[in-house]
Amino acid sequence: MPTITYILADSTERPLEVPTGQTVMEGSVRNNLPGIVAECGGGCSCATCHVYVDAAWAHAFTEANDEEAALVEFADGARAESRLACQLVVTEAADGARVTVAEN
């Protein structure tokens, strides 16, 4: 099972095993990590699952669609590495990926 390392607001690192096919958001919610709220339950609606994907791991996930890109563009703390965790589907290629949870 791929391991995703979540870097929380207080800089602690939480490596978690996330089953393939689940999203980075689901892995966080399942383990009750702080920071990823996911109000809409994964519908790419609320932008409350904002994360930064380390540049070295950007290729491990499919590219953002227009809707996601528009949502994160105006999210607080938006950066080039900004993604919505509900759109990051975990595959074997994501094993070892590092994502930093954005501050809400």
Partner 1 sequence: MTDVTRDSSTGARVVVVGAGHAGGTLAALLRQTGFAGSITVFGQEEHLPYHRPPLSKDFTDGQPVKWLRDPEFYTEQKISFLLGQKVVSIDRARKTVRSSLGEDHPYDHLVLATGATPRLLTLPGGDLRGVLTLRDLSDAQRLRSAIDTDGALAIIGGGFVGLEVASVARNRGTEVIVLEREARILARVASEQLSAIMTSLHRERGTQIRTDVEIAGLRGHNGAVVAVLLADGSEIACSSVLLGVGATPREELALHADILCDQGIVVDDAARTSDPAILAIGDVTRRPVPGTEGHRRLESIPSAVEQAQQAASTILGLPQIAPEVPWFWSDQFDLKLKIAGIVTPLSETTLRGDPTTGRFALFHHRDGVLSAVESSNSPAEFMAGRKYIAHHTPIAPSRLADAETSLRDCVLV
**Residue 26: φ, ψ to 5°:** -60, -40
| Residue where the block lists tokens 């690192």 | 13
Joined together, the tokens standing for residue 85 give: 């965790």
The rounded Cα 83 to chain-centroid distance in angstroms is 6
> 51 vs 71, which CB is nearer to partner 1?
71
> Mask: binding to partner 1, 20-59, rule CB under 8 A, as x and -?
---------xx-xxx--x-xxx---xxxx-----------
Cβ-contact 90, 21 below 8 angstroms: yes
**Binding to partner 1 (CB under 8 A): which residues in 67-86?**
67, 70-71, 73-76
Q: What is d(CA 59, CA 62) in angstroms, rounded to the nearest whole number? A: 7
Q: Is 104 in the site for partner 1 (CB under 8 A)?
A: yes
> 96 vs 103, which CB is nearer to partner 1?
103
Q: Which residues bind partner 1 (CB under 8 A)?
A: 29-30, 32-34, 37, 39-41, 45-48, 67, 70-71, 73-76, 104
